[in-house]
């Protein structure tokens, strides 16, 4: 059974750095074709992929946010951590981590999201 | 980036209705499209991958079709549990993108 759960602060101040942790179980992020991603959703708005770390340790970032994002994976702890610098009120959103599959081993060009955490609402306000 | 446009943004329907949601890509994405269902306060749930492959446990009243730039999600007979927001996602490349969502409301 695959599960993921996000943890981190619910309130951050503008200009601060946000650190979110995704703790997962039921799969290995080193399995070919598997990835873990961070996706956010501002209140009442659509979903936006922020960053993804792949089974082979490759990483990719949303181009518009790349300079502010870092994603790291700790397989032994079963955690994936996202840091986002210089937070702004427009970054207020629910942040999800998700298990993804795709690529060559799934006969796919990209990756899609099979299991999601419950999400954590992060508010950016002074 | 590939832009995904869903229509309509909001759809009002009744239990038992057949409904169709459309998702259009700004360029061809072959069949690399997924559909998700999201209920208020909940995480999205994967319904369909590769445009038409129903995920395990998803009721057969859901179906997906299309390729290239135009795709549809059809619910053959709406059930009370189906009222939610639906998103498409293209994964033609490593820069995946979502549609803006279609909210399915009770008429």
**Could you read off the pLDDT of B88-105 as tens digits, one per residue?**
999 998 789 999 999 999
- The pLDDT mean for chain A works out to 96
Q: What pLDDT, on a 0 to 100 scale, did the predictor assign at position A108?
A: 80
Residue B36 scores a pLDDT above 90:
yes
pLDDT average, residue stretch B31-58: 97
CB B98 within 8 A of CB A41: no
How far A77 CA lies from chain B's nearest CA (Å)? 24
pLDDT average, residue stretch A47-58: 95
The DSSP code sequence of chain B is ---EEEE-SEEEE-TT--EEEEEEESS--TT-EEEEEE-TTS--EEEEETTTEEPTT--TTEEEEEETTEEEEEESS--GGG-SEEEEEE-SSSS-EE---EEEEE-
Q: Does B94 touch chain A (CB under 8 A)?
A: yes
Residue B47 scores a pLDDT above 90:
yes
- The residue in chain B having the minimum alpha-carbon distance to the alpha carbon of residue A35 is B94
A112 to B100: CB separation less than 8 angstroms, yes or no: no
Q: What pLDDT, on a 0 to 100 scale, did the predictor assign at position A103?
A: 82
Burial (Cβ within 10 Å: 0-12, 13-18, ≥19) of residue B104: buried
- The residue in chain B having the minimum alpha-carbon distance to the alpha carbon of residue A116 is B43
- The residue in chain A having the minimum alpha-carbon distance to the alpha carbon of residue B94 is A110
Nearest Cα neighbor of B85 from B97, B73, B96 is B73
Strand, coil or helix: what is A89?
Answer: helix
Q: What pLDDT, on a 0 to 100 scale, did the predictor assign at position B95?
A: 87
Residue A106 scores a pLDDT above 90:
no
A110 to B94: CB separation less than 8 angstroms, yes or no: yes
- Predicted confidence (pLDDT) per residue in B11-25, tens digit: 999 999 999 999 999
- Predicted confidence (pLDDT) per residue in A24-40, tens digit: 999 999 999 999 999 99
Q: How confident is the model at residue B69 (pLDDT cuts 50, 70, 90)?
A: very high
Q: What pLDDT, on a 0 to 100 scale, did the predictor assign at position A60?
A: 95
Q: Which of A47, A102, A119 has its CB closest to that of B87?
A: A47
Work out the percent of chain B whose per-residue pLDDT is above 70: 100
**Which residues are paired to A109 by β-bridges?**
none
CB B86 within 8 A of CB B37: yes
**C-alpha distance across the termini of chain A, in Å:** 40
Q: Does B91 touch chain A (CB under 8 A)?
A: yes
Work out the percent of chain B whose per-residue pLDDT is above 90: 94
How far A112 CA lies from chain B's nearest CA (Å)? 6
**Phi/psi of residue B15, each to 5°?**
-55, 130
Q: What pLDDT, on a 0 to 100 scale, did the predictor assign at position A104?
A: 77
């Amino acid at each position: 059974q695959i599960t993921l759960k996000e943890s981190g602060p619910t309130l951050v101040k503008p200009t601060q750095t946000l650190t979110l942790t995704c703790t997962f179980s039921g799969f290995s992020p080193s399995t070919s074709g598997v990835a873990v991603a961070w996706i956010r959703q501002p209140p009442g708005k659509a979903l936006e992929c922020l960053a993804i770390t792949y089974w082979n340790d490759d990483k990719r970032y949303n181009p518009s946010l790349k300079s502010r994002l870092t994603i790291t994976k700790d397989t032994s702890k079963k955690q994936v951590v996202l840091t986002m610098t210089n937070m702004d009120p427009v970054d207020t959103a629910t942040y999800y981590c998700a298990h993804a599959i795709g690529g060559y081993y799934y006969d796919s060009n990209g990756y899609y999201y099979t299991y999601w955490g419950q999400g954590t609402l992060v508010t950016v306000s002074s | 980036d590939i832009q995904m446009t869903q229509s309509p943004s909001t759809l009002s329907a009744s239990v038992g209705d057949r409904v169709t949601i459309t998702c259009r890509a700004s360029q061809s994405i072959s069949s690399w499209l997924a559909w998700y269902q999201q209920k208020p306060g909940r995480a999205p749930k994967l319904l369909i991958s590769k445009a038409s492959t129903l995920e395990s446990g998803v009721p057969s009243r859901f179906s997906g079709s299309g390729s290239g730039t135009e795709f549809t999600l059809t619910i053959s007979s709406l059930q009370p549990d189906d009222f939610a927001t639906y998103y498409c996602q293209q994964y033609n490349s490593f820069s995946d993108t979502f549609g803006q969502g279609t909210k399915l409301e009770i008429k």
